[in-house]
Structure 1
């Protein structure tokens, strides 16, 4: 199935649904094939009931100005581009303001799938 996106916008933004310990929410995610892992906003993760302070799995992120420790969570369910993935690993970190997205879909979401992005038509397909 093909899903439309705005090929003129600086990011490929698609709708996604996250199910966490305290409910579910529809969000906007940017596709980032350069990111190894999916990233979810800390604020959204906390609203969904993830306890980020007690998470033992962490990763060190290198930003332009410093290194930061970020928790890794297991998202109960993530649905995007017609796919449903259970127990999906995601890094929780704040995103720069002004992007109007809640996270990044990284390569761990696309592994073992065929991803086609057609900029001429403004369509994306994942199978």
Structure 2
């Protein structure tokens, strides 16, 4: 999954030091940098690509994520507490829906991602 970011160094710190991903690849090629992180469960690679000038993240209602990347946790309330303590912004606390628990968190650029617990 490709995530467009304005600052790869800031994105790398957020995804590794705060969220708990590991760096899979960080290599320069030409004038650019190829940066991949592996999610804590080891199942998904996120490519943190430098957004080109004029890039705008997809528009979304305030109650929906900007990204189609959904993260899952076994204990959403504990994850919410842990990430909030690390400074991660949550537009609203976790809420139980008929289909499971739901929350959203934001990266340093304000891009919202879904967090789920079944």
> Which TM-score applies when normalising by structure 1?
0.29
Bigger relative CO (Cα 8 Å, ≥ 6 apart): 1
Q: Which structure features the higher share of strand residues?
A: 1
Q: Which structure features the higher share of helix residues?
A: 2
